[in-house]
Amino acid sequence: MYREEDIVHENGKVFVLRDRRQKSYAVCVSGTTHATVESAYSLDSDGLSIAVARCDYLARRAA
């Protein structure tokens, strides 16, 4: 189970989740009943920067 503290970046309905079980950063899109993982990146500084960039891109595209 994930907690709110696992969210490391949020932009509208898109957020980056630190997934310690899968050892990755997951870019998730909120839906009406649940969030869907759109993509995942390695659990390091490069993976985080790519995940944040992807999150912001998807949020801009949805707007």
User: Could you tell me the residue range of the domain that residue 23 belongs to?
Assistant: 4-62
Tokens standing for 34? 């649940």
**pLDDT tens digit string along 51-61?**
999 999 999 99
DSSP 29: E
pTM of the predicted protein model: 0.93
Total domains in the fold of the chain: 1
The CA radius of gyration of the chain, in Å to the nearest whole number, is 11
1 pLDDT above the threshold of 80: no
**pLDDT tens digit string along 18-57?**
999 999 999 999 999 999 999 999 999 999 999 999 999 9
At 24, is the secondary structure helix, strand, or coil?
Answer: strand
